[in-house]
Structure 1
Amino acid sequence: MRVMVIVKATADSEAGLMPAPDLVAAMGRFNEDLAAAGLLLAGEGVQPSSKGVRIAFDGPARSLAQGPFFPSEDLLAGFWLWQVKDLDEAVAWARRCPNPMPGPSVIEIRPLYEEADFA
Structure 2
Amino acid sequence: MRFMLIVKANEETEAGVMPTEQELAEMGRFNEELVNAGIMLAGDGLQPSSAGARVTFSGGRPSVTDGPFTEAKELIAGYWVIDVKSRDEAIEWARRVPFQEGEIEVRKVFETEDFGEAATPEIREHEQRLRERIAEQRD
After TM superposition, the score normalised by the length of structure 2 is 0.81
- d(CA) in 2 for partners of 1:36, 1:18: 26
- d(CA) in 2 for partners of 1:62, 1:92: 39
**Could you list the runs of 5+ residues in structure 2 that have no partner in the other structure?**
117-139
More helix as a share of residues: 2
More strand as a share of residues: 1
Identity of aligned residues (%): 50
Answer 1 or 2: higher relative contact order, Cα 8 Å, separation at least 6: 1
The alpha carbon displacement at 1:97 in A equals 1.1
Q: Which residue of 1 aligns with 2:60?
A: 60
Q: Which residue of 2 aligns with 1:86?
A: 86
- d(CA) in 1 for partners of 2:68, 2:30: 30
Match of 1:34, SS state, is helix
Query: Which digits, 9 at most, give the CA deviation of each residue in 1:84-107, with x for residues without a partner?
Result: 0000001111111100xxx63100
Match of 1:56, SS state, is strand
Runs of 4+ in 1 over 2 A off after TM superposition: none
Q: Which residue of 2 aligns with 1:76?
A: 76
Query: Which digits, 9 at most, give the CA deviation of each residue in 1:39-95, with x for residues without a partner?
Result: 100000010000000011012222110000010010000000000000000111111
Give the AA of the match of 1:89: E
1:109 aligns with 2:106: yes
Give the AA of the match of 1:117: D
Q: Report the RMSD for the aligned CA atoms in angstroms.
A: 0.9
Q: Who wins on radius of gyration, i.e. which is larger? A: 2
